[in-house]
Amino acid sequence: MTVGGNPWAAEIGRFVALLAGALVLGQLAGHPLEALLVAALAYAASLLLQLHRLEHWIRAGKKSHPPPARGIWSELYQQVHRLHLRARKRKRKLANALKRLRQSVAAFPDAAVILDGEDGIEWFNAGAGRLLGLKMPEDLGQRVTNLVRHPLFQDFLEGRGEPGAIEIPSPEDEHLVLSIALIRYGADQRLLLARDVSHLARLEQVRRDFVANVSHELRTPLTVITGYLETLEDEGDELPPVWQRSVQAMSEQANRMTHLVQDLLLLARLESDGDPASPHEPVAVPAILSGLEEELRLRSAGRHRIESSVDARLWLAGDAQQLRGVFNNLLENALQYTPDGGQISLRWYPDEAGAHFTVRDTGIGIAPQHISRLTERFFRVDAGRSRAGGGTGLGLAIVKHALSHHGAHLRIESAPGVGSSFTCDFPPARVLEPPDGDLEPGSIGEPRASAPARDS
């Protein structure tokens, strides 16, 4: 090994010296070319010998110290040896880090399962055994869907469910409620995390029961109060003017409370339904929309331009009452928040993704930061205007839960000053054709429109 200089320069110097010596000896012997050839072959043979020794040393795993060598080969051996030592050091660090990581994950109270590209189980911690019932080592390599057989979990794993997390009962203990999430990493791997949220589910159930019970208990006193107020209103002019105004205000608030209680009871009933995809009765959606459109035109009284496009051959499997409530809520919102002279359009149509109901208006619109919260209970963008219009703040929450019972989703698009679009997306599995004889001739027409009232 050359110290303090360029090893390649030294090697080239030795090669030139070898050729020069061979040339001198060849001149003395009278065969200079032959001497140069022999010297070049000798140098090539030494190169092949060093390459053989290097290959043998690498094949042996570089576990021993480098073999003795001179010149550039000594430098090459040392460089490879140093790289090998650094690689071994990094490997030990990575192995220790992986060991600590697995120890940390193994200590999680939550379940952690590493899945390959075919949903096979590569590794899992003790929490997965406790919450998911997995057994080590017999379940390694098994498809996780063979061990966790809940339909909602299988749809979630295959990407057919909503993004985020799902809640299912534990396959090990049906009294436990698990929240399951998936994290993608690497080329084609996923980390499945399952957390016991039974206490949160119990608290949520307590909240729902409390709201339902309180709402139910409020119905009787509200009925009594409303009855007495109606009796007082029947007295008409016999009441003093001060009492007339008071009775009218009390009647308005009593009616508002009655609507709120009705919405709370409906929402509690939707939330307590154990099977979110239970209703499968044939529903004549075009007939429902036809009735709602007529009601909308009557309530608008010509103040809005109303357009509709309804495919009369498009039915759904579901719950007619829930679907009517969904469509009615969306149309009422459009009517409430669209000023006079504006346009409201409703459309019921199919495509390869399923069936869709869209309500579009040219109303006041919604700021982007509020859109994600519209389906929360009691959330109002403009609380004063919503209360003035008699809204309870529960309409879109009811819409969201009713749609979930049909495997459907609500899409909202809006911009302030432009208007809003609310679309209900129903999956293809819910789409039906009307039974024979239930389709009226000519019922699939062109979009209809009503002109706004002209200024008098």
**310/431 same-domain check:** yes
**289/411 same-domain check:** yes
Domain CATH code at residue 354? 3.30.565.10
**318/334 same-domain check:** yes
* Domain presence at residue 122: yes
Question: Final residue of a domain: which of 237, 272, 307?
Answer: 272
Q: Which two tokens stand for residue 365?
A: 């619109």
**81/137 same-domain check:** no
Among residues 280, 277, 310, 316, the alpha carbon closest in space to that of 293 is found at 310
* Domain presence at residue 1: no
| CA 407/CA 155 separation, integer angstroms | 12
**212/191 same-domain check:** no
**139/87 same-domain check:** no
* Domain presence at residue 139: yes
**pLDDT at 443 (0 to 100):** 40
Rounded to 5 degrees, φ, ψ at 423 are: -125, 130
**420/301 same-domain check:** yes
Total of domains in the chain: 4
* Domain presence at residue 456: no
Tens of each residue's pLDDT in the chain, 456 residues = 444 457 777 777 777 887 788 778 877 877 788 878 887 888 788 778 777 777 777 777 655 677 776 667 777 777 777 787 788 888 888 888 777 777 776 777 788 888 888 889 988 888 888 888 888 888 888 898 888 888 888 888 877 655 678 888 888 888 888 999 888 887 778 888 998 888 888 887 787 777 777 777 777 888 888 888 888 777 766 777 778 788 888 888 888 787 777 777 777 777 766 555 456 788 999 999 999 999 999 988 889 899 989 998 999 988 888 899 899 989 988 898 888 889 999 999 999 889 999 999 998 888 888 887 888 777 766 655 555 555 566 778 888 888 888 888 899 998 888 889 999 999 888 888 887 655 543 343 344 444 343 333
Output 221-226 pairs: Cβ under 8 A, ≥24 positions apart: 222/254, 222/257, 222/258, 222/261, 225/250, 225/254, 226/251, 226/254, 226/255, 226/258
Question: Final residue of a domain: which of 219, 253, 272?
Answer: 272
* Domain presence at residue 455: no
> With contact defined as beta carbons under 8 Å apart, do 350 and 431 qualify?
yes
Q: Which domain holds residue 369?
A: 281-450
**38/79 same-domain check:** yes
- Angle between helix 320-337 and helix 395-404 axes, rounded to 10 deg: 150
**164/213 same-domain check:** no
**313/411 same-domain check:** yes
Q: Which two tokens stand for residue 307?
A: 């357009």
| CA 431/CA 253 separation, integer angstroms | 41
Residues whose CB is less than 8 angstroms from the CB of residue 149 and which lie 6 or more positions away in sequence, other chains included: 171
* Domain presence at residue 427: yes
Question: Final residue of a domain: which of 172, 196, 220?
Answer: 196
For tokens 């790289």, the residue is: 83
**223/300 same-domain check:** no
**149/167 same-domain check:** yes
* Domain presence at residue 245: yes
